[in-house]
Amino acid sequence: MKTLILMFSLLTIGSSSAWADNLLPYVQTNLHKAQVLAFSGQGLSIKECDSCPAVSLLPSGKVSYWAQNQEVNLKTATEFYVRGNYSFIAVFYNRSSRQYDKVMFDGYNELMPLHHKSAH
């Protein structure tokens, strides 16, 4: 019986990443700034942990960039990345296609509402 439980556990653990990719294909990954190896309009290279391999991500058709609760353009996001005056970057991407559609520097400040483009 113990052998059967051990074998089941090993099979479950071994296939859990495949299940995660299928069940949760779109994820938000919060990365320390040192884990973002490359940043440009052509894509990102990230490392989710010290022992993890680097992952290359491509931009989807429309990517939004956010810094200090404001949507910014790619040029401003690149300047933010180069200056490095942030703690982490959140990347929203599809694990299957390896495409991202949102990049946030330091996330949202919960005390300040998001500024939406709307007519006042």
Residue whose structure tokens are 């290359």 = 56
Token pair of 40 as six digits? 């440009």
- Domain boundaries along the sequence of the chain: 25-120
The mean pLDDT of the chain is 80
Q: What is the pLDDT of residue 40?
A: 94
Report residue 17's pLDDT band, with 50, 70 and 90 as the boundaries: low
Dist CA 86 CA 107 (whole Å): 10
Dist CA 52 CA 80 (whole Å): 25
pLDDT in tens, 30-76: 999 999 999 999 999 999 998 999 999 999 989 999 998 889 999 99
Burial 78-87 (b: 16+ CB within 10 A, else e): eebbeeeebe
